Structure 1
Amino acid sequence: MTDPILTETNGPAMTIRLNRPEKKNAINMTMYQGLTEALQKAAADPAVRLVILRGGDDFSAGNDIADFLATGGETGLRPVLDFFDALAAFPKPLVAGIRGAAIGIGTTMLLHCDVVLATPSARFQLPFVQLGLVPEAASTLLLPAAAGRLKASWWLLTGEGFGAEAALAAGLITRLIAETTLDAELTAVAARLAALPPAALRQTKALLRAPHQAAVREAMTLEVEAFGAQLKSAEAKEAFTAFLEKRKPDFSRFD
Structure 2
Amino acid sequence: MREVTTALNDGVLTVTISRPEKKNALTDAMYGALADALEQAEASADIRVVVLRAEGEIFSAGNDLGEFAAQSRNQGPAVRQVERFLRNLVTARTPLVAAVQGKAVGVGTTMLLHCDLVVLAEGAQLMTPFVNLALVPEASSSLLMPLRIGHVRAFEMFALGDPVEARDALAWGLANRVVPRDQLHAEAQRLAARLAQRPAGAVAQAKQLMRDTDRILEQMERESRIFSAQLRSAEAKEAFQAFAEKRQPDFSRL
TM over 0.5: yes
Q: Secondary structure at the match of 1:51?
A: strand
Q: Secondary structure at the match of 2:137?
A: coil
**Contact conserved, 1:71 with 1:77, CA < 8 A, in 2?**
no
Structure 2 Cα separation of the partners of residues 134 and 205 of structure 1: 27
Q: Which residue of 1 aligns with 2:28?
A: 29
Give matches, 1:110-189, under 5 Å.
Answer: 110-189=112-191
Q: Which one-letter code corresponds to 1:133 in the other structure?
A: L
Q: Structure 1, residues 176-219: CA drift from partner, whole Å, max 9, x if none?
A: 1111211221121011101111111111111111xx22221121
Q: Which residue of 1 aligns with 2:10?
A: 11
Q: Secondary structure at the match of 2:248?
A: coil
Q: Which residue of 1 aligns with 2:49?
A: 50
Q: Secondary structure at the match of 2:185?
A: helix
Q: Which one-letter code corresponds to 2:222 in the other structure?
A: L
Structure 1 Cα separation of the partners of residues 54 and 77 of structure 2: 28
Displacement after TM superposition at 1:154 (Å): 1.1
Percentage identity across aligned positions? 45
Q: Structure 1, residues 58-78: CA drift from partner, whole Å, max 9, x if none?
A: 110111000111225796462
Structure 2 Cα separation of the partners of residues 124 and 30 of structure 1: 24
Q: Secondary structure at the match of 1:206?
A: helix
Q: Which residue of 1 aligns with 2:206?
A: 204
Q: Which residue of 2 aligns with 1:240?
A: 240
Q: Does 1:230 align with 2:230?
A: yes
Structure 1 Cα separation of the partners of residues 37 and 195 of structure 2: 20
Q: Secondary structure at the match of 1:168?
A: helix
TM-score by length of 1: 0.95
Q: Structure 1: state its 5+ residue gaps.
A: none
Q: Secondary structure at the match of 1:71?
A: helix
Determine which of 188, 195, 203 is the counterpart of 1:193: 195
**Contact conserved, 2:91 with 2:213, CA < 8 A, in 1?**
no
